[in-house]
């Protein structure tokens, strides 16, 4: 019989004071209060995807009708996975690697796999947050630099609708006057050659913000095989991003728990301001109608349900291990039911409200450009760095609106980053507890290594690297982890044991009828849903291409290698634990119990 124990915990006074004074776990520390954890978890879950991905998915998949599958999936899959990870973290008081290892040998590699995938994703995602910071800096000027087409880096195909209309109006719509390179061109043969005349090749036009992003900020290369030079502006922004993360996490979760009050609340303030301003602009209601007009026929499309499920899991950050780490700093009797409801519902409301704020503004942009809303709607970086920069050029005091928007994007991204990096740091300290005395240096080392890994994304070919890694590691590993998490904890560790943990922590145990329904949810419905999504995702796997650019074979091999790096710890950890450490069955589990002082797991 093998016994493992969590680090002993200090005695604390009973009563309300024990919730806020002193640490139950002096070695690791605890949150200063309930709200610190809730805000940190909300900040970790609510990210850029809520603003620039959910509204687009809603628009593309039935408008208001998309909310039906979204909230059904949230109830049947998102909230169960979220609650499960909070229970694992809070009960074990450990990050994923040690926490899962204490439950069962079969789960040993799960924690390692989660942390590896989380570290790679965090490193890759840093550049997007850095772009937000860099654009905020660029917006601090009297005139936005992407506002015109007369810069040295612009091509003749650069297109600005306002200047184009002015050119045509002032010259009586004469076919001898066409707009290109930021000026009216009178030479028709030159216009034909440059393909900038609206009547010749409108598909050749490139918006001024898009050219600014690709030709000035990124100096984008022709492909991933040509990485080119590191770009100073984005590189400095990446460094500043990591300095913020390092400074916030170096003092432990008590300091980060205070910083998130700003990084969580500020985006909501800006979203309210953007909505209040956007809804009063001409054309705003057209954008809102595009966003929410229901098309219930889309409910019969399996793809709609698949997208709703994937968006739910990704927006809640389930399956990455970060929720387990954040919950591991809770006090033992924290109410995980309340936290699950608040964060999951808050995350979903944020997504829906962000759609109103964004689409009201896009409706105004379409009105100003004289085009349908569908022509200005985009998602991801296209929304943040092309469509919205174009939009603010049509507003009074445009630099102010640009600064607010990009600061909002930065804070949305950075607090998600806090949780991801804390997951890596806490895992290292839990595996090597002697390093806790030197935690500051561990934080500096981890941030330094991840900063160096992020630098490749600041090269001229860095955007190709970002897109490639995002395609291979952003979704598929998480789906696999969620599936295995549900199966192994329910069937291997045991549903009854999990209910006992919940009762021990919260004092509440569901009655027989409710417990039976929850058992069906965790044992059948949730695994089936995530399993279908996972199979669909893996069977639709193809070599990556983007915007007509086909990535070379070697690049896809690199992407597959990173995917394998995220997944291989699963079988390796399980086999090593059974064959070398325990020399027992893969299905052996540890019976875990815990009181105020310690958690004890005995191998059965």
Annotated binding site for Na(+): 43, 45-46, 50, 315, 347, 412, 415-416
Cβ atoms of 318 and 85 within 8 Å: the answer is yes
Which residue ranges are tagged as binding site?
A: 43, 45-46, 50, 315, 347, 412, 415-416
Residue 17, class by beta-carbon neighbours within 10 Å (0-12 exposed, 13-18 middle, 19+ buried)? exposed
The candidate with the shortest Cα–Cα distance to 562, out of 124, 108, 109, is 124
- What are φ and ψ of residue 207, in 5° steps? -65, 155
Query: HSE-up of 301 (CA within 13 Å, CB side)?
Result: 13
Ranges of beta strands (E only) in 424-483 are none
Q: What is the Cα–Cα distance from 331 to 473, expressed in whole angstroms?
A: 33
Q: Tokens standing for 5?
A: 């124990």
Q: Judging by beta carbons within 10 Å of its beta carbon (0-12, 13-18, 19+), is residue 27 exposed, middle or buried?
A: middle
- Report d(CA 315, CA 496) in Å as an integer: 29
**Contact assessment for residue 479 and residue 533, using Cβ atoms and an 8 Å cutoff:** yes
DSSP string, 314-339: HHHTTTSSHHHHHHTTS-TT--HHHH
What sections of 139-252 are H helices per DSSP? 161-170, 188-194, 208-211, 232-249
φ, ψ of residue 41 in degrees (nearest 5): -70, -40
Neighbours of 382 (CB within 10 A): 16
**DSSP letter at 378?**
-
**Three-state secondary structure call for residue 57:** helix
């Amino acid at each position: 019989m093998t016994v493992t124990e969590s680090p002993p915990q200090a005695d604390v006074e009973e009563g309300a004071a024990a919730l806020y004074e002193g640490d139950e776990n002096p070695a690791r520390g605890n949150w200063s209060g309930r709200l610190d954890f809730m805000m940190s978890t909300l900040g970790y879950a609510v990210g850029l995807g809520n603003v620039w991905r959910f509204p687009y998915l809603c628009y593309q998949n039935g408008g208001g009708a998309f909310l039906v599958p979204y909230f059904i999936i949230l109830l049947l899959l998102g909230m169960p996975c979220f609650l499960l990870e909070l229970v694992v973290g809070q009960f074990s008081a450990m990050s994923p690697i040690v926490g899962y290892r204490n439950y069962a040998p079969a789960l040993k590699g799960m924690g390692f796999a989660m942390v590896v995938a989380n570290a790679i994703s965090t490193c890759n995602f840093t550049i997007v947050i850095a772009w937000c910071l860099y654009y905020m800096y660029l917006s601090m000027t009297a005139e936005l630099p992407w506002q015109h087409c007369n810069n040295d880096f612009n091509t003749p195909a650069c297109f600005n609708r306002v200047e184009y209309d002015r050119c045509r109006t002032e010259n009586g719509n004469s076919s001898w006057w066409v707009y290109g390179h930021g000026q009216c061109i009178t030479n028709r043969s030159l216009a034909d050659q440059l393909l900038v005349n609206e009547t010749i090749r409108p598909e050749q036009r490139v918006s001024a913000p898009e050219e600014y992003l690709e030709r000035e900020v990124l100096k984008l290369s022709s492909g991933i095989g040509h990485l080119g030079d590191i770009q100073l502006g984005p590189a400095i922004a990446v460094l500043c991003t990591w300095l913020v993360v390092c400074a916030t996490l170096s003092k432990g979760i008590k300091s980060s728990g205070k910083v998130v009050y700003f990084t969580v609340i500020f985006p909501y303030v800006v979203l309210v301001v953007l909505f209040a301003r956007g809804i009063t602009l001409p054309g705003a209601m057209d954008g809102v109608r595009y966003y929410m007009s229901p098309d219930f026929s889309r409910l019969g499309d399996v793809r709609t349900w698949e997208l709703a499920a994937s968006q739910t899991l990704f927006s809640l950050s389930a399956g990455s291990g970060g929720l387990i780490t954040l919950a591991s700093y809770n006090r033992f009797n924290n109410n995980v039911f309340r936290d699950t409801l608040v964060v999951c519902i808050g995350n979903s409301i944020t997504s829906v409200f962000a759609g109103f704020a964004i689409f009201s503004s896009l409706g105004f942009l379409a009105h100003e450009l004289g085009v349908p809303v569908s022509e200005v709607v985009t998602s991801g970086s296209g929304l943040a760095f092309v469509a919205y920069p174009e939009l603010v050029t049509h507003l009074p005091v445009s630099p102010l609106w640009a600064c607010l928007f990009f600061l909002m994007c930065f804070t949305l991204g950075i607090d998600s980053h806090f949780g991801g990096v804390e997951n890596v740091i806490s895992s290292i300290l839990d595996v090597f507890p002697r390093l806790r005395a030197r935690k500051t240096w561990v934080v500096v080392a981890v941030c330094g290594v991840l900063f160096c890994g992020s630098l490749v994304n600041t090269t001229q070919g860095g955007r190709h690297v970002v897109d490639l890694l995002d395609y291979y590691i952003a979704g598929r590993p998480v789906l696999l982890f969620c599936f295995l998490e549900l199966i192994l904890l329910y069937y291997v560790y045991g549903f009854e044991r999990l209910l006992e943990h919940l009762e021990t922590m919260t004092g509440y145990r569901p009655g027989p009828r409710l417990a039976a329904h929850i058992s069906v949810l965790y044992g059948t419905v949730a695994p089936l849903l995530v399993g279908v999504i996972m199979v669909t995702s893996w069977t639709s796997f193809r070599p990556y291409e983007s915007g007509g650019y086909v990535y070379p074979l070697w690049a896809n091999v690199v992407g597959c290698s990173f995917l394998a790096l995220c997944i291989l710890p699963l079988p390796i950890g399980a086999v090593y634990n059974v064959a070398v450490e325990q020399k027992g069955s893969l299905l052996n589990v540890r019976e875990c119990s815990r009181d105020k002082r310690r958690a004890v797991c005995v191998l059965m």
